[in-house]
């Protein structure tokens, strides 16, 4: 996805081309909704939690500390709607549902994982800056 400057290009590219390419800095870009879903706190954590395994809802909730059932269900529904997560329902009683990343989900998970790794490696620098700001 190419990030374009936030300005109108009257004779540049058509709306379908903008949708295909994505122009995140443009206020009307529909890819912003997908960005919001991917980069939400719970979206990032679901993508990371499902990176190498298929999990049932309860196991996923346990793996992601602090997420409510409602938020996890909503996040999974959004990620499934966007094609990042597969919901596999087995016809058994009681119901058995599993979640796994799709190939598209694996691609975005790898990108998000880079950000998460950077954050974990640099968290101490961020906290030091916060303490420095609080002291001044």
Q: What is the pLDDT of residues 58-112, one digit of tens each?
A: 999 999 999 999 999 999 999 999 999 999 999 999 889 999 999 999 999 999 9
On the question of pLDDT at 119 being above 70, the answer is yes
Overall pTM surpassing 0.85 (yes/no) = no
Kindly report the CATH number that applies to the domain delimited by 22-135.
1.10.10.10
C-alpha span between 76 and 47 (Å, rounded): 10
Residue 29: pLDDT band (50, 70, 90) is: confident
Using the predicted structure, report yes or no on whether residue 13 has a pLDDT greater than 80: no
């Amino acid at each position: 996805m190419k990030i374009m400057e936030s300005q109108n290009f009257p004779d540049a590219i058509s709306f379908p081309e903008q949708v295909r390419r994505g122009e995140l800095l443009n206020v009307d870009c529909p890819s912003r909704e997908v960005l919001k879903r991917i980069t939400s706190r719970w979206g990032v954590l679901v993508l990371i939690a499902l990176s190498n395994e298929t999990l049932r809802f309860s196991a996923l909730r346990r793996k992601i500390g602090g997420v409510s059932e409602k938020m996890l269900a909503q996040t999974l529904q959004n990620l499934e709607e966007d094609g990042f997560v597969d919901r596999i329902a087995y016809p058994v009683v009681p119901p058995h549902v599993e979640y796994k990343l799709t190939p598209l989900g694996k691609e975005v998970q790898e990108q998000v994982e880079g950000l998460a790794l950077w954050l974990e490696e640099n968290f101490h620098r961020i906290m030091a800056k916060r303490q420095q700001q609080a002291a001044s």
